[in-house]
A and B are shown apart, each in its own frame.
Chain A
Amino acid sequence: MFKTLFGSETPEPSLLDRLKSGIQKTRTGLVEKLEDVFQGRKEIDADVLDELEYALLSADIGVKTTQEILERARQRVDRHMLGDASELKQLIREHVVEVLQATERPLPQVSQPPAVVMVVGVNGAGKTTTIGKLAQRFRNEGRSVLLCAADTFRAAAIEQLEVWGERTQTDVIRQQAGSDPSAVLFDALQAAKARKVDYVIVDTAGRLHTKTNLMAELEKMDRTTKRVIPDAPHEVLLVLDATTGQNGLEQARKFTETAGVTGIVLTKLDGTAKGGVVVAISRELNLPIRYVGVGEKADDLLPFEPESYVASLFD
């Protein structure tokens, strides 16, 4: 019997609405820039393309991806395939959606619970908060969840996860601060098997992807996981702060190499940053974006939808 991980057929509050409400607070983002580009100017000329370039750059899409997008646009303009600016806008929009859709893939399936979800990322990306929200999500779907406090390094990280455990009525497996993360993980996985829970969500310490020793620790945790549950972890989520610039690509690359990232959670999208670096991540690393974080409350985690996301950038 197969169960779909994270599967939920119930309609979500629209991601687009949530993102838009965030954007409405300050219309200083890409939106405004694009309006500058498109208002009152129908003809596509060098100026339009220039402004468009700046607009894409300001969303942290990155130089390389931006240039690629513009090159496509330029070719069409040269071949007179594009009449006016609104067509250009449509073209760019479709292109970005395409890039993001290309990495979409079904949620992993687990033949026998527990499904193990590792959550990794740099310091301050929002891992613990995301885990609280994920727990809430799974609980809402009627699943049982166990949290594993494997961030034994940062001061009060365990306590922070415990608060989320209380909020979502989820048990937390923990040890002393400073103990070996793999030991906590081992305990949690054993407990999860014994209690037959559906999900184990593992909180890990924030680490910069350049720290070799800390990255090696993640590899060790992976080995520990496989010792207890051979086909685990079923999902490794990289939590990425939407304010991150071009370094996000390097983060994704390194964490994928060492921790086998299978998906991205883009957090803090309720601010003015749009996290455009995910477009480059999708393109270069073929990683799907699973969820977006849009606030500090337990239900502020939504499934990612490429079209809504792109629309929130362009409308």
Chain B
Amino acid sequence: MFENLSDKLQRVFKNLRGEGKLSAENMEAALREIRVALLEADVHFKVVKQFIDSVKEKAMGQEVLSALSPTQQVVKIVRDEMVKMLGTHQAKLRFANEPPSTLMIVGLQGSGKTTSTSKLAKFLSKNGHKPLMCSVDVYRPAARKQLAVLARELKLPLYEGSDADKPAELARGAKREASQIGADIILLDTAGRLHIDDDLMVELEELKGILNPTEVLFVADAMTGQDAVKSADEFHKRLGITGVILTKMDGDARGGAALSIRSVTGQPLKFVGVGEKSDALEPFHPDRVANRILGMGDVLSLIEKVEESIDRKSAEEMQRKLLDDEFTLEDFRDQIKQLRKLGPLESLLGMMPQLGPMKDLKNVKVDEREFTNIVAIIDSMTAQERRNHMIINGARRRRIARGSGTTVQEVNNLLKQYTQARKMMKSFTGANAGMLGKRLGKLKLPGFPGFGG
């Protein structure tokens, strides 16, 4: 979709090596690329300008370090600067000294308030809190029903009130209910509204007055464009938002709105929504979102995911096997099975930085069914064949194809992919691999079947 910023800068700096310093002249072209990259990522143009200025200041006159290429060096400055702008630490939720604390969820229509409310409830209850949910969205058809259904699924308390109640009455009812059932947090889901809808903004101000929330969380869609600053700014002016939840980050939007909102409101991003399931809510990591905005892949999230799902012991074993060139088709099969535990491969690929040997993965289409075939093919081999693929001749290939219900061609493809995967894995573990390679190598991502010729 988008060209990676590194690739672009690489081009810009092709002729820079040996010049010794980042100068005004040679930075000019680089800054232009950075600017375009940020605009493509939907960062607000004023924020882009501000950002470019500060990068320029940082970069000017820096010695080109011998360890880093100029590209890497500029990317580092850009990324550090962006992380700084996004907020250098993870902001925690604030609670009242005396419970219940109220968290008010606000935002535009369709940004994901109700889903986020239920995810927050689950998150809080997992962390030992007792949240009570309440929807005061009396406008959108079935909005209150939606939260009720989610609450029932999560088996978490909800204050329903009556359909005739006005938002203020519902809010007061929730407050009473919370003290009755001993809930320490009230999660108030409000109706989506346009920031220019004065009547509805007044309603939010009233609700805030009634509940005196410790957090007013602004829910923003990661796909939002330039308008993000206007809506966030207006919500902040009227309500004093205390944090942001960035939703729909499981798509392929670069999420530049995060930077815009942060810079216009000064309030921290607190959570990121990454899926439709109730636990698809993660604390915000500035470095990850910075990489994402820059199109550098979300390596850390990927590594974390891998770490969660892959058994460390068997990973170390695999590492040894790779180094000793003992990575067999059996191991290959086990790797595929482990990989599938991580979820759809395309979402994993989205997190990968598009560098070096991974460059061509960007446009790869993954057919998940292929995995099933691969496992079937390997299962149809004899133990001897699995341990030594070199013995698989034409006759054996035909037999394996018949046994697995595939074709000889597919068997050939698999063998080709397997040898490629071995090669790729070795390049990760090799001494020349960079940081990423080493980490991934250690964690043992299997080769990627289905990407071969």
Asked if A209 meets B251 with Cβ closer than 8 Å, knowing A271-B108, A273-B227, the reply is yes
Q: Does A210 contact B (CB under 8 A)?
A: yes
Binary CB contact string for chain A from 151 to 166 against chain B (1 if under 8 A, 0 otherwise): 0011111011011100
B109 CB contacts on chain A under 8 angstroms: 124, 126, 268
Q: Which residue of A lies closest to B107 (CB)?
A: A124
Q: Which residue of B lies closest to A154 (CB)?
A: B146
A130 → B minimal CB distance (Å): 11
- Looking at B223, B228, B251, B347, the one whose CB has the most chain A CB atoms below 10 A away is B223
Interface residues of A in 276-296 (CB under 8 A from B): 276-277, 296
CB neighbours (8 Å) of A274 from chain B are: 227
When the two chains form their complex, are residues A126 and B110 in contact, meaning their CB atoms are under 8 A apart?
A: yes
A80 an interface residue at 8 Å Cβ cutoff?
A: no
Could you give, for residues 226-263 of chain B, a 1 whenever the CB lies within 8 Å of some chain A CB and a 0 otherwise?
11101100000000000000001011111011000000
Q: Kindly state whether residue B167 has any CB partner on chain A within 8 Å.
A: no
A10 to B52 alpha-carbon distance, docked (Å) = 52
B142: A residues at CB distance < 8 A: 156-157, 159-160, 162-163
Task: Verify A272–B231 contact, CB threshold 8 A.
Answer: yes
Q: Are A156 and B146 within 8 A (Cβ)?
A: yes
A294 CB to nearest chain B CB (Å): 11
Question: Least Cβ distance of B99 to chain A in Å?
Answer: 28
B111 at the interface (CB under 8 A from A): yes
B139 contacts across to A, CB distance below 8 A: 296
Interface string of B109-120 (1 = CB under 8 A from A): 111100000000
A277–B227 CA distance with the chains assembled, in angstroms: 12
Instruction: Decide: A163 near B224, CB < 8 A? Known: A155-B146, A268-B109.
Output: no
Nearest CB in chain A: distance from B264 CB, A: 13
Inter-subunit contact A241/B221 (CB<8 Å): yes
A241 to B276, CA, bound (A): 19
B65 CB-CB contact with A under 8 Å = no
Asked whether any CB of chain A lies closer than 8 Å to the CB of B19, the reply is no
- Interface SS of chain A: loop
Instruction: Establish whether residues B149 and A155, one from each chain, have CB atoms under 8 Å apart when the complex forms.
Output: yes
Which residue of chain B is the closest to A165 with respect to CB atoms?
A: B141
Q: Which residues of A contact B250 (CB under 8 A)?
A: 208, 210-211
Residues in chain B near residue A245, CB distance under 8 A: 42, 223-226, 228, 253, 256-257
Stretch of A58-66, A111-119, A299-307 with 4 or more beta carbons under 8 angstroms from chain B: A58-66
| Contact present for B346 and A272 (CB under 8 Å) | no
Given A155-B146, A212-B344, A212-B346, 18 more pairs with CB closer than 8 A:
A26-B230, A59-B226, A60-B226, A122-B223, A123-B110, A153-B276, A156-B142, A160-B141, A163-B141, A208-B248, A209-B252, A245-B42, A246-B41, A247-B253, A250-B1, A250-B252, A273-B227, A273-B230
Taking the closest CB of chain B, its distance from the CB of A179, in whole angstroms, is 15
- Complex contacts, B195 vs chain A, CB 8 Å: 271-272
The reply on B361 being an interface residue by CB < 8 A is: no
131-154 of chain B: CB within 8 A of chain A: 139-143, 145-150, 153
Ordered by A's residue number, 20 sampled pairs between the chains whose C-beta atoms are within 8 Å are A60-B227, A62-B40, A155-B149, A159-B141, A163-B141, A208-B251, A210-B347, A210-B350, A211-B250, A241-B110, A243-B228, A247-B253, A248-B223, A250-B252, A268-B110, A271-B108, A271-B194, A272-B194, A272-B227, A277-B225
- Picked from B140, B226, B252, B256, the residue with its CB within 8 Å of the CB of A210 is B252
Q: Is there a chain A Cβ closer than 8 Å to B196's Cβ? A: yes
Q: Which 9 A-B residue pairs are closest in the complex by CB-CB distance?
A: A245-B225, A124-B110, A163-B141, A245-B42, A273-B227, A155-B149, A156-B146, A159-B142, A160-B142
| Least distance between B106 CB and chain A CB atoms (Å) | 15
Chain A interface size, as a band, is: 35 or more
Specify which chain B residues have a CB less than 8 angstroms from the CB of A268 in the assembled complex: 108-110, 194
Cα distance A211–B345 when bound, in Å? 10
Report the bound CA distance from A242 to B230 in whole Å: 13
Interface residues of B (CB under 8 A from A): 1, 36, 39-42, 44-45, 108-112, 139-143, 145-150, 153, 194-196, 221, 223-228, 230-231, 248, 250-254, 256-257, 276, 344, 346-347, 350, 366, 368
Binding site for B on A (CB under 8 A): 25-26, 28, 54, 57-60, 62-63, 122-126, 128, 153-157, 159-160, 162-164, 177, 208-213, 241-248, 250-251, 268, 270-274, 276-277, 296
- Are A271 and B227 also in contact (CB < 8 A) when A123-B112, A210-B252 are? yes
Q: Are A57 and B39 in contact (CB under 8 A)?
A: yes
Residues of the A chain whose Cβ atoms lie less than 8 Å from the Cβ of B256: 245
Q: B223: nearest residue on chain A (CB-CB)? A: A247
* A268 shortest CB reach to chain B, Å: 7
Contacts of A62 in B (CB 8 A): 40
Check A155–B153 contact: CB distance below 8 A: yes
**B221 touching A243 by the CB < 8 A rule?**
yes
A243 touches B42 (CB 8 A): no
* Inter-subunit contact B45/A57 (CB<8 Å): yes
Q: Contacts of B150 on A, CB cut-off 8 Å?
A: 155
Chain A residues contacting B41 (CB-CB under 8 Å) are 246
Which of B145, B148, B221, B366 is A124 in contact with, Cβ under 8 Å?
Answer: B221
Asked if B153 and A123 make an inter-chain contact with CB atoms under 8 angstroms apart, the answer reads: no
Give every chain B residue within 8 A of A211 (Cβ-Cβ).
250, 344, 347
Q: How far is the CA of A247 from the CA of B112 in the complex (A)?
A: 17
Q: Which of chain B's residues has its CB closest to A209's CB?
A: B251
Provide the residues of chain B in CB contact with A273, threshold 8 Å.
225-227, 230
A246 to chain B, nearest CB (A): 6
Q: How far is the CB of B192 from chain A (nearest CB, A)?
A: 9
Give Cα A28 to B194, complex, Å: 15
Instruction: Point out the residues of chain B lying under 8 angstroms from A243, CB to CB.
Output: 108, 221, 224-225, 227-228, 231
Beyond A57-B226, A243-B231, A245-B225, whether A122 also contacts B40 by CB under 8 A is: no
Decide: A156 and B149 in contact? CB cutoff 8 A.
Answer: yes
| Least distance between A128 CB and chain B CB atoms (Å) | 8
Let me know if A271 and B225 touch, CB within 8 A.
no
Nearest B residue (CB) for A239? B110
Contact in complex: B42, A247 (CB < 8 Å): yes
How many whole Å from B49's CB to the nearest CB in chain A?
A: 9
By a CB distance below 8 angstroms, the chain A residues around B112 are: 123-124
Alpha-carbon distance A159/B256, docked complex (angstroms):
34
Q: Using A54-B45, A63-B39, A272-B195 as known contacts, say yes or no to A123 and B248 having CB atoms under 8 A apart.
A: yes
The interface residues of chain B lying within 8 Å CB-to-CB of A160 are 140-143, 145-146
- In the complex, chain B residues whose CB is within 8 Å of the CB of A277: 225
Rounded to whole angstroms, the CA-CA distance of A54 and B275 in the bound complex is: 34
B246 smallest CB distance to A (angstroms)? 13
Q: For the complex formed, measure the closest distance between the CB of B154 and the CB atoms of chain A, giving whole angstroms.
A: 11
* A95 CB to nearest B CB, Å: 20
Q: A8: shortest Cβ distance to chain B, in Å?
A: 26
Which chain B residues border A124 with CB–CB below 8 Å? 109-112, 221, 248
Q: Which residue of A is nearest B118, CB measured?
A: A155
Chain A hits for B254, CB < 8 A: 246-247
Known A271-B231, A272-B195, A272-B196; contact A122-B141, beta-carbon cutoff 8 A? no
Most buried by A among B153, B227, B252, B276: B227
